Amino acid sequence: MEFLQMYFPVSGVKTWVFLPPLVAFVVSCFTSMGGVSGAFLLLPFQVSFLHFTSPSVSATNFVFNIVAIPSGVYRYLKEGRMAWPLTWVIIVGTLPGVFIGYYLRVLYLPNPRAFKLFVGCVLLYIGVRLLYEMTARSQRGKKEMKAIEEKFSHHARRLTESQAARVSSGLPPEAVVKTVSFSLSRVEYEFWGQRFSFSTPGMFLLAFVVGIIGGTYGIGGGAIIAPFCVAVFHLPVYTVAGAALFGTFLTSVAGVFFYSVIPTQSGLVCAPDWMLGFLFGAGGFAGMYCGARLQKFVPQKYLKLFLGILITFLAGSYIIQFFIK
């Protein structure tokens, strides 16, 4: 089996060549259904299993996002589920945050133990909030969300029973995102007969903070933005996923640029391991397309439960690491 192993000189990793794309495919297939690229899970995998611990691991994670995300974004675009006002607010907010996050990573937090605690606390709040959304008390009075959930479930059953799924994107004309209003104070859009809105400054501030976190760890930010949009801004995950993925893609491009071009004074290796990142991205490319295609067949409550458990677990691992080291 030695001939199947490959050495990556930038990261110093030696592993089976099929392992990175296989892990990325499985992770991305599930996480992309909720607008998450999966980079936030691949980073711990690289650190813990591949022993890739230098700051360039963050840049390599960004390479994964760049290669993997376009397939998922394409699918959401094809099905008309891209909420463009939400997408642009996320992009404008996260880009300056990524720049700040880069400097935090390479200059002030080469071993970001305290910052991991902060990230863990933020993710813990989001994960618990998502799990709370599953309770009966939280579900009272959410008729609009329930109506969309029922429509999606009904339509998914029809798709499964018919041949239409093979020749079309699978969604009726009314199941697309339509912008109603877009201003500096508030954004409102319509999806499947229901209207949803959010504060533009509030979303911008969230994206800016997420950009700092994403720029530091190389996670893009979708792992935080997507569940926050669902749990706090009460937006349907079916409309959030595409915007979160597209925003993560563009901020990842900026992240790779910062880590590759901007010089550092600390002497740390910050440029990405392009080959390793490409292998992860190749698996993620296929996984995200499958996840985006399958999302309409998975009830929103299960997506919330999955994201809630996953993010709460990640938050717990960050917090535990702070106290045991």
In a domain, 109, yes or no: yes
Contact 56, 96 (CB under 8 A): no
Domain that holds residue 119: 2-135+175-324
In a domain, 156, yes or no: no
In a domain, 232, yes or no: yes
Residue-level pLDDT, tens digit, the chain, 325 residues: 566 788 998 888 999 999 999 999 988 887 777 667 778 778 878 887 898 877 788 889 899 989 988 887 887 888 777 889 999 999 999 999 988 988 887 777 666 577 677 778 877 877 887 788 777 776 665 555 566 666 656 655 665 555 444 434 455 655 678 889 999 999 999 887 788 999 999 999 999 988 888 888 777 777 778 878 887 888 887 788 888 888 889 889 988 988 888 766 556 668 899 999 999 999 999 988 888 778 767 776 777 787 788 888 888 888 888 887 6
pLDDT value at residue 159: 54
pLDDT value at residue 208: 93
pLDDT value at residue 153: 61
- 73 in helix, strand or coil? helix
pLDDT value at residue 191: 83
Distance CA 118, CA 325 (A): 15
Helices 39-48 and 300-324: angle between axes, nearest 10 degrees: 30
Count how many domains the chain has.
1
- The 10 Å Cβ neighbour count of residue 70 is 18
Distance CA 311, CA 313 (A): 5
Contact 213, 223 (CB under 8 A): no
In a domain, 264, yes or no: yes
pLDDT value at residue 68: 87
What's the pTM value of the predicted model, to 2 decimals? 0.76
In a domain, 145, yes or no: no
Contact 61, 46 (CB under 8 A): yes
In a domain, 311, yes or no: yes
In a domain, 63, yes or no: yes
218: nearest Cα among 264, 252, 244:
252
Q: Rounded to the nearest 5°, which phi and psi values hold at 270?
A: -120, -20
pLDDT value at residue 164: 45
pLDDT value at residue 201: 95
Torsion from C-alpha of 209, 210, 211, 217, nearest 10 degrees: 120
In a domain, 21, yes or no: yes
What is the CA angle 32-284-31, rounded to 5? 20
Distance CA 146, CA 115 (A): 37
